Structure 1
Amino acid sequence: MKRVVLITGHYWHSKRKAGFHWLGDAFWRQGWEVVFLTAPLSWLSVLRRDYRLAYPVLEEANRLQPIKPNMWSYVWFTPWHPANLRLGMLNHLSRSWFRSYGQLPLPEVESLLKDADLFIFESTPALLLFDRCKQINPRAQYIYRVSDDLRLLNNHSIVLEKEAEVLPKFNLVSVPSQHMYRMFAGLPNIKLHLHGIRKDLFAQDYYNPYPPSEHPHVVFVGNTRFDYDFIDRASQLLPDWQFHIIGPMSNLISRKNIIAYQELPFEATIPYLKYADIALQNLAYSPGSECFTDSLKIIQYTYCQLPIVAPDYLKSSRENMFYYQPGNPDSIRQALIAAQGCDRSQISTENIYDWDELVSEWLGSSFAPVKVTTK
């Protein structure tokens, strides 16, 4: 049985299901043994009240946890990890300290890494573990799945430097958006692979969670970068419309047509997508946010043939997108009304991957041969 190690910032049992959860599941269904390695996580995460601490990550730290036959979860908890300390002097002084992160002990899991066939790194500070994995296992194939732009996440400079250093050493660099594809233009090992979805889950029958209404049900699902100003304006402009917000949004204005659900398990959100009339991608801007033109949520919304309302900095070739200028009430209203008039039957879902199809494409492709000299 072949073994894949997914090195990701996500925790397997989190309510937040990201691409790496579905990749791990797809590899397992295709007969691979899966090690889902969560990193980075350290005492710095505790100081910052990392959301993952709501789960038993400290109890499971540095111990292999069986998920099901041939699938393991491993939380790599260390004394520190490379993190932006917010002050230039502290970031400078911490460089040599953080540079040694990849050489910290890997109790219980190192023997599994030694015999793995494939490593898939997510775009996190755990990229500093790349050289260590190469030393342990130089024969394996290595994929870099760039889930996020590290610059957008305000990482410590040493993480950005490590990404630039190891990019050419991967057999494959897989990016999920046109924006990232342009960002890494010129790399011989880069491929554009949009996010997949679990089509089997979306194909199931679900009850309609919305009450009957003559007016649209508008849904947002997410956990970061929520534009509160947009929802304040939109809910006032269209008081008969119902705005359903799913995610840990703590500062939502109280208004009768804003319905907050907090964070739900992924499968519980599917009915809200399938039976919605309009979807929102109302994300607040920060440099690098353009990469969200092809986010996993955009793919899921599109698969449900939903018109999507988004800020104009997310303009793309998608025909089901309707754009507004942030802070401009007229353009917000126009975008929502235009989305309401969209012919949903014309929204194409043909080019959307199932996660199994994406994994099959990876495994069926010829990886670039990379020779890395290690000291």
Structure 2
Amino acid sequence: MKCVVLITGHYWHSQRKAGFHWLADAFWRKGWEVVFLTAPISWLSVIRRDYRLAYPVIQEANKLLPVQPKLWSYVWFTLWHPANLRWNFLNYLSRGLFQLYSKLPLGIVEAEIRRADVLIFESTPALLLFQRCKNLNPKAQFIYRVSDDLRLLRNHPVVLETEKQIVAQFDLVSVPSRNIYQLFAGLSNLKLDLHGIRKDLFQNNYPNPYPSKDAADTPNLIFVGNSHFDYDFLEQASQLFPNWRFHIIGPIANLPQKPNIITYGELPFLETIPYIKYADIALQIRAYSPGIESLTDSLKVIQYTYCQLPIIAPRYLSSSRPHVFYYQLGDASSIQQALIAAQNYDRSQIATNDIYSWDELVSKWVQILQ
């Protein structure tokens, strides 16, 4: 039986289901043994009140725990990890310490790394483990799944430098957006692989979670996410369209208190699917930050598209998708125009035939590596 180790910033039991969860699931359903290795996480994460601490990551630290047969979770909890200290001087002083991250004891998971057939790295500070894993297992094949632009995540300079040094050494560099593809253009091992989805889950029947509409002009708009939220858009849009309902799923604090803004907090992934399926318009309303352009092809955009939802996004997230309607940040007129255009768009025109499942993506990788 083949074994894959996925080195990711996500925690297996998190309610937030990211691409790496679905990649692990797809490998497992193909009959592979899967080790889901969560890193980095350390006492610095505790100081910064990392959201993963809401789960029992400290209790599970450095234990190889079975999730189900042939699927394991391992939280590599360390004293420290490379983290942006916000001040250039502190980042400079910490370089030497952070470069030692890869030498910290791996514990029992080291044996899993030694016997793995494939190791898949996410774009996190755990990239510093690459050379150590290569030394431990030179026969394994290595994939870099660049789930995020490291600049957007504001990583420590030593992480950015490490990525630059090692990226050409991977057997495959797989990127989920056209914007990130441009960052690595010229690499011979580079592939553009947009996010997949669990088509079977989205095709299931679910009860409609929304209240019955009072009239045809009362659409339900959905946002699902946890970062870079454009508060100003929601403030203005909810005023412009007081009869429209804006549904916000995710740990977004300090939202406007209005009758037509309905908040749910963070929900398990499966509970979010009906809200997406039965919505009328999707919101990809992201405030600007350097590197935000990488979200043009985010997992949520793929899910919204699969459900044939018109999408609202700021102009700096422009793409070639005809069902995305854009506004200028802070401009009420463009917000109004985008929302009206989305409401009037013929959803049946939204193509979904080019969206593939996670199983199809994993099969593609296996074929490339063979």
Confirm or deny: 8 A CA contact 2:284 2:312 kept in the other structure. yes
Displacement of 1:18 in angstroms is 0.1
Identity of aligned residues (%): 68
How far does residue 108 in structure 1 lie from its aligned partner after superposition? 1.1
The equivalent residue for 1:209 is: 209
Residues 1:339 and 2:348 aligned together: no
CA displacement 1:155-192 (0-9 Å, x = unmatched): 10000000001101100000000001111111111000
Q: RMSD between aligned alpha carbons?
A: 0.7
Distance 1:217 1:167 in 2: 43
Name the SS of the counterpart of 1:58 in structure 2. Answer: coil
Residue-by-residue CA offset, 1:275-297 (whole Å, 9 max, x unaligned) = 00000000001111111110000
Give the Å deviation of 1:247. Answer: 0.6
Equivalent residues of 2:141, 2:369 under 8 A apart: no
Q: Aligned equivalents of 1:348 and 1:204: distance in 2? A: 19
- Structure 1 residues without counterparts, runs of 5 or longer: 368-375
1:257 aligns with 2:299: no
Q: Which residue of 1 aligns with 2:250?
A: 247
Partner of 1:181, secondary structure, is: helix
Greater Cα shift, 229-238 or 82-91:
82-91
CA distance in 1, matches of 2:338, 2:222: 15
Query: What residue number does 1:10 align with?
Result: 10
Following superposition, the deviation at residue 226 of structure 1 comes to: 0.6
SS across alignment from 1:360: helix
Gaps of 5+ in 2: none
Q: Is the 8 A contact 2:171 2:369 kept in 1?
A: no
The separation in 1 between residues aligned to 2:34 and 2:286, in whole angstroms, is: 33
Post-superposition, which runs of at least 4 consecutive aligned residues in structure 1 deviate over 2 A?
Answer: none
Q: Deviations over 1:312-344 (max 9, x none)?
A: 111111011000001000000000000000100
Cα separation, 2, equivalents of 1:258 and 1:56: 32
Partner residue, 1:182: 182
For residues 86 and 326 of structure 1, the distance between their equivalents in structure 2, rounded to whole angstroms, comes to 26
SS in structure 2 at match of 1:357: helix
Moved more, 19-28 or 176-185: 176-185
CA distance in 2, matches of 1:172, 1:108: 27
Aligned twin of 1:127: 127
TM-score, with length taken from structure 2? 0.98
TM-score by length of 1: 0.97
Question: Are the counterparts in 1 of residues 251 and 265 from structure 2 also a CA contact under 8 Å?
Answer: yes
Contact 2:197 2:357 in 1 (8 A): yes
For 1:118 and 1:235, the matched residues in 2 are separated by 48
> Would you say 1:299 and 2:302 are equivalent positions?
yes
Match of 1:373 in 2: none
Q: Secondary structure at the match of 1:144?
A: strand
Q: Which amino acid aligns with 1:270?
A: I
Deviation per residue, 1:21-77 (Å, 9 max, x gap):
000000000000000000000010000000000000000000101000000000000
Q: Which residue of 2 aligns with 1:84?
A: 84
The offset of 1:366, in angstroms, is: 4.2
1:288 counterpart = 2:303: no
Q: Distance in 1 between matches of 2:87 and 2:273?
A: 42
